Amino acid sequence: MLRILLINDTAKKVGRLKSALTEAGFEVIDESGLVIDLPKRVEAVRPDVILIDTESPSRDVMEQVVLVTRDQPRPIVMFTDEHDPGVMRQAIKSGVSAYIVEGIYAQRLQPILDVAMARFESDQDLRAQLHARDQQLAERKRIETAKGLLMKMKSCNEEEAYTLMRRQAMSRQQKLIQVAEQIIAMSELLG
Amino acid sequence: MTDSLNSPLAWINGSDAPELNSIDVGFMALTDSASLIVAATQGFAQPYGLNINLRRQPSWSALRDKLVNQELHAAHSLYGLIYAAQLGIGGPATDMAVLMGLNQNGQSINLSSALKNESVVTPEALELRTHQSETKLTFAQTLPTGNHAMWLYYWLASQGIHPLQDVDSVVVPPAQMVDHLQAQRIDGFCVGEPWGARAVSQNLGFTLATSQTIWPDHPEKVLGCSREFVQQYPNTARALVMAVLDASRFIEQSLDNRRSTAQMLSGADYVNAPVEDIEARLLGEYSDGLGNHWQDHHALSFHRKGQVNMPYLSDGMWFMTQFRRWGLLREDPDYLAVARQVQQLALYRQAAEALDISVPSDAMRSSQLIDGKVWDGSDPAGYARSFTLHALADCAPVAADH
């Protein structure tokens, strides 16, 4: 059973989504108005998916979506009356997995959630790969920097510098990147 | 796995960059996992844009299952594990691949101090003990189809002891061998280092034979993966082989490099054993626990200018001949055809040549084993049938995993 966090950003006290979800047999574990710290709320109630019901997504809503995507990534489905393609693009860019304009029908909820979940998973994979690649590139640069510093300090060639760094790392049961960081820090200290 | 978007792009661009930036590689807590651990932690894969995430496994059977299910992209593996998975012994048959050899030599057969106290300290005394005593001795190996079972069986048989009739065999994960010996659940074991050296240093046992006395420069661990992995991600596989080859060469470049490798291995995340137990035998310095000390000329080796790393067809075939000999295979497989599929010679050649490491032109090699027999891969079916002690298919097969 999907654990749903429902955010009601409409003027109505009981949103139209709640009844549609109940009718379709979903369990809403938490419902609240637009909160200031959505990531914290997500961390507390641990939903599988977040549904946002909003007449028109404001900047505040978008900001919350960005924060969730960064800190507590979850599939986010936005139901809205806003037709403006610019707003839609902005919402998708913020991290919304599905943007549904008008008409909430109980029988359509399941496929909408399925698509949102699939979209979210593939986005997460891509993000993880990109993150790994960025980190790898950054590490490689740091190692290169440390190697250069060591070559200068020890007046040795590239291969000797690598060997020295690796031996030092291994005899302390560390990774090469850790020793590289130590060399850079030491060199900054000694100016 | 997180790769859907990268592989087609790499292909479209005609690039030989790895299709994956990050792979999970399994290993067991053994000294001979060194080249993989050094490659992963000391920046050897980074130049290829590859990140190797090390995943230590609790047992060979766990490692095998994850390799077959592709929860691990590749792993420090036993030759026997890869070929048993290929042939469907002890599990479903899955097409497997050997990317390169990781090491030669460096395993040992060790007996308990209790046997030492009974003066069972030579092969002859052990042979007498097994044939004259009413109680059977229990020997541990690490996987029913693994290298250690094959070394133990081969060695026992060469001393006139039938490994399936005269003694009992049990499976114990490498890192637990010494505890099992201490608890007197086993009388001896065959395993990779440092666990033999550890038994000696703890005065719990002694080394009766090293694996290199069975077969000098024998094939041992390999870098293994499923065939699907190497077919789907050939550039990733090649980058991995290059990184590990480079690390193997680095380890053997100097005594200091070997020493610091021993220190790295002793870490809690890797082998998790005292550095003294790892270092001596990694440097070829042996003490057997009976007062003998020697510098071993066929000690654990990782590279030797590539001689260690070549995935010889005859090396892979040998393990199949032993499966046949001990009844794990009821019929002769097409030894050569299976080895040709499993041993990734072409990929290895590309990787080695890119690093200026020479590749032997012959995919077979000839060796003389402890019983005087010569193995050169030329007549595998005849070789499998040529032993005095055996359990060829007419006998009951050996018990599978438990």
CATH topology of domain A131-190: Arc Repressor Mutant, subunit A (1.10.10)
B53 touches chain A (CB under 8 A): no
Q: Where exactly are the structural domains of chain B?
A: 7-105+219-283+299-371, 107-217
CATH topology of domain B7-105+219-283+299-371: D-Maltodextrin-Binding Protein; domain 2 (3.40.190)
Torsion of CA A135, A137, A141, A146, to 10 degrees: 50
Kindly report, residue by residue over B321-357, the tens digit of the pLDDT. 999 999 999 999 999 999 999 999 999 999 999 999 9
Q: Which residue has 């005594």 as its token pair?
A: B255
CATH 1.10.10.10 domain locations along chain A: 131-190
CA gap B326, B152 in Å, rounded: 12
* ipTM of model: 0.88
Q: Do domains B7-105+219-283+299-371 and B107-217 have the same CATH topology?
A: yes
CATH 3.40.50.2300 domain locations along chain A: 3-104
Note the Cα B130 to chain centre separation in Å. Answer: 27
CA angle B266, B271, B274 (to 5 degrees): 40
Q: Tell me, what's the pLDDT at B377?
A: 97
Q: Tell me, what's the pLDDT at B397?
A: 47
Q: Report the amino acid identity of residue B187.
A: D
Residues of B within 8 A of A162 (CB-CB) are 43
- Cα–Cα distances in Å, from B27 out to B30, B55, B62, B195? 8, 6, 11, 16
CA gap B365, B342 in Å, rounded: 17
Interchain pair B21, A175: CB under 8 A: no
Q: Which residue has 């030669």 as its token pair?
A: B104
What predicted TM-score, i.e. pTM, was given to this entire model?
Answer: 0.82
CATH superfamily of the domain spanning B107-217 = Periplasmic binding protein-like II (3.40.190.10)
Kindly report, residue by residue over A1-32, the tens digit of the pLDDT. 788 888 888 877 666 778 788 888 888 888 77
10 Å Cβ neighbour count for B384?
22
Q: Smallest Cα–Cα separation from B383: which of B330, B337, B328, B317?
A: B317
| DSSP assignment letter at B309 | T
- The low-confidence residues of chain B, meaning pLDDT below 70, are 1-14, 393-402
Q: Tell me, what's the pLDDT at A55?
A: 82
Contact B223, B102 (CB under 8 A): yes
Residues of A contacting chain B (CB within 8 angstroms):
122, 125-126, 128-129, 132-133, 136, 139-140, 143, 162-163, 166-167, 169-177
CATH topology of domain A3-104: Rossmann fold (3.40.50)
